[in-house]
Structure 1
Amino acid sequence: MSTLLPHGAAVALGVACHLGYFNKGEHHLYGVRYLQALFAASLTLGVILASIGGQPISDVLKEVTKFIAFFLAGLYASLLLYRIVFSPLNRFPGPFAARISNFWFSSRLSKHNAFQKVLDLHNEYGEFLRIGSNDLSIVHPEAVELIYGFGSPCRKAAFYDLMLPRVSLHTTRSRIVHNTQRRIWSTAFGDKALHGYEQRINAHQDRFLAHITSAGGRVNVARSFNFYSFDVMGDLAFGESFDMLTHSEDHWVIKLLNRGIGPLGYHFPMWFFRMMVAVPRLADEWWQFINYCTQKVGERIAKGTSTPDIMSALLKPYDGAKPIGTDLRMLEGDAQLIIVAGSDTTAATMTNIIYEITRHPSHISKLRKELASVNASICPNTIQHRQIQHLDHLNGVIYETLRLHPPVPTAQPRVTPPEGLTIGGVFIPGETTVWSPQYVLGRSNKVYNNAESFIPERWYSKPELIKERSAFAPFSTGSYGCIGRPLALLSIRTLLAKLLLTYDFAFAPGETGRGIEEDSQEHFTLAPGDLHIAFTKRADGDK
């Protein structure tokens, strides 16, 4: 009886902790503290037992270990019973193991291809998919507007706390902070600012064309577009290019970034991710990249706002004063956002555009004719964005590529309001994490006719091929929509036009496109697999 009472009490305490605390609210920020608290409680219990019982240390350790084991058994038994039997999400279809833990989904992502796994699961289970203990993936045509659109009652999920205490325009979960920061950011993407950026982007595009020519005809465009986009964003963020096109290799900090974001490809629960990066040496690359951004922000602050770039717009509200505290952390987070989001999305989209039009060469001819219609003597050296930004087929090719290969393919998680949310007549309980993956929606025949086919005309001359326009949101939508969309489209339109006018291109010998179809990865943003293209200079490409 003397041992049953404390062990029973330990089990009861574990159950009470789950029902009264862990089953309510968010706890992903406190994983390390919970471990510290468990250690402190164990130590305290050991001291008490040793002082009042006069038992040997070995016996005390055994008793403490048993008590903690029974406590954890009660805690996790209660948690599992709730998730398997009592959770209101149990009525939604999905793999049984997904009810138990989000680690089930993570365990399926050794190739970092969450977008393909989610597509396969939706094909098996339908529009509403339980993909985690408290997570639903929803591909009903109405989902995007209701989850992400203006007026949506949903809020950003725990995922966006991955950089805390640093936050950015993208990761802040506070609507008030976001709205305030967005007004500041908007000055960096007005017409006047974009015109200034275009002149600087032109110089990088000239270097890109020279890079293609010097490569001798065969180019891994996935890698080369990465060089280009990081050079551009380094210039526009800090006034300094990474010079990756010049050296034809990744800058050392980009190598750190590519290694550091690897864990994001597993879609780990945020509490686990934050514990991983808290372990010394386990996430060195992640922290070195963050420290680099912190250093560059400090250097950029010292230079002032005379250089017209994105960071100068973010610094102007301080009117020469040095940002400190949360303001400084926000700038550091924004620097990371500019580099990662601005670079990855442009590089991925350009790679996939080349993949699609090379597979469907009739669109290359159609694009060239459309460009010639602007000006019969148009050439790479004279292209201006204002001339081509409204071209139907050019935009159709871009949007169709974004539909089939969205730069953020799956999770942009939100949390439903306490009162719940109804989508397509289906009630979603409150405080549920929901997401509506663009990659799956882009291939849904409930959203598009001939969804698997590359048909750019659906965006201008064949609108009947689109059943639900609001489901198309490659730059997200609503108040959290990507503020850098105009800059991304400017860069994509002008670079694509210059490539079309400068080169003929086709798959390089031995290239089948397999890298795009099978080797693309997702680390929140899409990272296309290798794509080798054979470029041949056109006779009139030097005009």
Structure 2
Amino acid sequence: MLSIGILLALAALFAVGIPIARYLVDAKGLRKYPSAGISAFTSLWSMWHNRRMKRFMAIHKAHERLGPIVRVEPNHLSFNTPEAFYDIYSHAATNILKDVYYDAIAGPFRSSGNTRSREEHTRKRRTIANSFSPKGVAEYEASVTKTVHILLDRFDELHAQHGESGFNATPWIHMFTWDAIGDVVFGESFNFLENGNDTCVAETPEGQQHEVQAIASFLGGVQYANNIGYLGTDLAKWLKKNVLYCSYGAKMGANFSNISIHKIRRRQEIPEEAAPQDVWSRMIAANKKPGAHVMPFGELVAESNSLLNAGNDTIGSSLTSLLYHLARNQEAQKKLQSEVDPVFLPGVRVCPYNDVKDIQYLRNCIDESLRERPPVGIGLPRITPPEGSVIAGQRIPGNTSVSVPTWSIHHNPALFPDPYAFKPERWTDEKQIPALRKFCLPFSTGGRACVGRNLAYLELEVAVASIFHRFHVELVYPDDELDTLEWFNSSPGDLFVKITPRVTA
């Protein structure tokens, strides 16, 4: 009978030996590409940097050190080349699908954001795309306007409480975006801004209600799913079912889904004739069309999770980053204020979208912030078809994971001179505009591009114009860089600001 020591030694040999053997055999010919540390042998390199919430930066530095193509996992190549973005993500890349990573992070039901099936994605996107068309988004403006009013009230109160000492704006901005997306999707705000915290009701599938902290639930669940995704589909599913089901990350992920369940059930109680013009109404209408696929409850929860995810985190991260850039660049802030002030009539605190959407410098500031601090910094993983693909001039074998890190493309000095500087003026520089239009892609590109782009711009333009018309914003610590933390999206860290009212409320 084998001793425990021998068994442990065999297990260690198995764990170490197989990756080394695979590396030496090199069945796909990937060994010719430089690797970041031990990334050619194991996904532990990605998991380690993801756990530190800096994987996007580790990959960026690896590209700076090793060149345009880096092996960041045993079966994953990262491309820091502009042409690769279109080879992998564009409408023309019809045979390159979402990576098996999404199988590892997904639950029993898929959303339009994590399904790998092109057919299923087309069906789901058709159901929700009308909700985020320009016409559909226009119907949500009242929800956004109402929430911006409450944010301005809260900022007035925070100024009165803290004065010159300032306050941390990050949690308040995320409470704002949670409130707005709750109203847009379900016709009901979370009321976090009014309550002064992010406590809300969640509900289990069995109907048991409990209170949770929404932001911690979301971020904890996303980080857990993101980290486990690097383990591979079969191992990830086994661990989730048998080992990690009681972990902090699993509990936070369940809490986040339970928030959606509670909102859905409350929304279902509203009679159709009394229903608000929200995303939910449009989804139900699409489900009722002749021949339409009727989403089961689990699919509705998955889709709601996806909408809450993008609607709170992407917009919240973008607004926080923009607040930071304009507080740090006082000349840009003054120029923006000189552009937005004339469109505000006396007594108007929140300007209609139609009055601000054509202010070029406002849009320049938003676009430049999205370039310099993209809400998704990682390379979204895709997989080549069995026959392989040509990417950036390289013949890549079939069933190989590939990606282009958005952060690295957005900070490529060959595309964007002085890439780490916040320069709204670059968006009117005729020499830079072609690269900006083609390679500044914060919402990705192709068939998998973010469906909520129109809502994001409406919310950002209305909120930014109103905030900077009402307040002068400064950094409490002018020399500090705003930290960037990678959960899945790249979320800003704490942002301490002091605000001074410019106009009477």
Normalising by structure 2, what TM-score?
A: 0.87
Equivalent of 2:231 in 263, 266, 269: 269
Does 1:281 find its partner at 2:246?
A: yes
Per-residue deviation at 1:128? 0.5
For residues 36-435 of structure 1, the aligned pairs below 5 Å read 59=1, 62=2, 77-87=17-27, 88-152=29-93, 153-161=95-103, 162-216=105-159, 217=163, 218-251=166-199, 252-254=212-214, 255-264=216-225, 266=227, 268-271=230-233, 272-278=235-241, 279=243, 280-282=245-247, 283-303=250-270, 305=272, 306-319=275-288, 327-372=296-341, 375=343, 377=345, 380-381=348-349, 383-435=351-403
Deviations along 1:9-67, one digit per CA (max 9) or x if unpaired, are xxxxxxxxxxxxxxxxxxxxxxxxxxxxxxxxxxxxxxxxxxxxxxxxxx5xx499989
Distance in 1, Cα, partners of 2:53 & 2:7: 39
Q: Confirm or deny: 8 A CA contact 1:253 1:289 kept in the other structure.
A: no
Task: Look up the SS of the partner of 1:337 in the other structure.
Answer: helix
> What's the CA shift string for 1:488-508, capped at 9, x where partnerless?
110000000001110111112
Counterpart selection for 2:448 from 465, 480, 486: 480
Q: Is the 8 A contact 2:474 2:498 kept in 1?
A: yes
Q: Could you tell me how far apart the structure 2 residues matched to 1:372 and 1:468 are? A: 28
The 1:275–1:292 alpha-carbon spacing in structure 2 relative to 1, beyond 3 Å, is: farther
Deviates further, 200-209 or 418-427: 418-427
Q: 1:511 to 1:273 in 2, by over 3 A?
A: farther
Letter in 1 for 2:141: E
Gaps of 5+ in 1: 1-58
Query: What is the TM-score normalised by the length of structure 1?
Result: 0.81
Mapped to 2, the partners of 1:201 and 1:468 lie a distance apart of: 28
Structure 2, unaligned runs of 5 or more: 200-211
Counterpart amino acid of 2:315?
T
Which residue in the other structure is 2:425 paired with?
Answer: 457
User: Cα offset for 1:353?
Assistant: 0.6
Aligned equivalent of 1:7: none
Provide the rounded CA distance (Å) in 2 between the counterparts of 1:294 and 1:270: 28
Retained in 2: the 8 A contact 1:145–1:470? no
Distance in 2 between residues matched to 1:257 and 1:109, nearest whole Å: 16
8 A contact 1:147–1:154 mirrored in 2: yes
Cα distance in 2 for partners of 1:76, 1:506 equals 52
Is the Cα contact below 8 Å between 1:407 and 1:474 reproduced in 2? yes
Give the helix-richer structure, 1 or 2.
Answer: 1
Kept in 2, the 8 Å contact 1:83–1:99? The answer is: yes
How many Å apart are 1:219 and its aligned residue?
Answer: 2.8
The equivalences for 1:496-511 within 5 A come to 496-508=464-476, 510=477
Deviation string 1:94-114 (CA, Å, 9 cap, x unpaired) is 135111111122123442111
1:15-34 to 2 correspondences below 5 Å: none
Partner SS, residue 100 of structure 1: coil
Deviation, 1:225, is 0.6
- 1:71 positional shift: 9.6
Shift of the 325–80 alpha-carbon distance from structure 1 to 2, 3 Å rule, reads farther
- Greater CA drift, 174-183 or 311-320: 311-320
* CA deviation profile, 1:311-357 (whole Å, cap 9, x unmatched): 22112233399x99963222111110111111001111011111111
Q: Residues 468 and 372 (structure 1 numbering): CA distance in 2 closer, same or farther, change over 3 Å?
A: closer
1:528 aligned residue (492, 496, 500): 492
Residue pair 2:96, 2:383 contacting (<8 A) in 1 also? yes
Using a 3 Å threshold, how does the CA distance of structure 1 residues 495 and 346 change in structure 2: closer, same or farther?
same
In 2, are the aligned partners of 1:314 and 1:331 still within 8 Å (CA)? Answer: no
How far the C-alpha of 1:211 sits from its partner, in A, is 0.5
Shift in CA distance, 116/95, structure 1 to aligned 2, threshold 3 Å: closer
Who is 1:35 aligned against?
none
Contact 1:356–1:401 (CA under 8 A) maintained in structure 2: yes
State which drifts further: 80-89 or 459-468.
Answer: 459-468
Q: Is the 8 A contact 1:411 1:524 kept in 2?
A: no
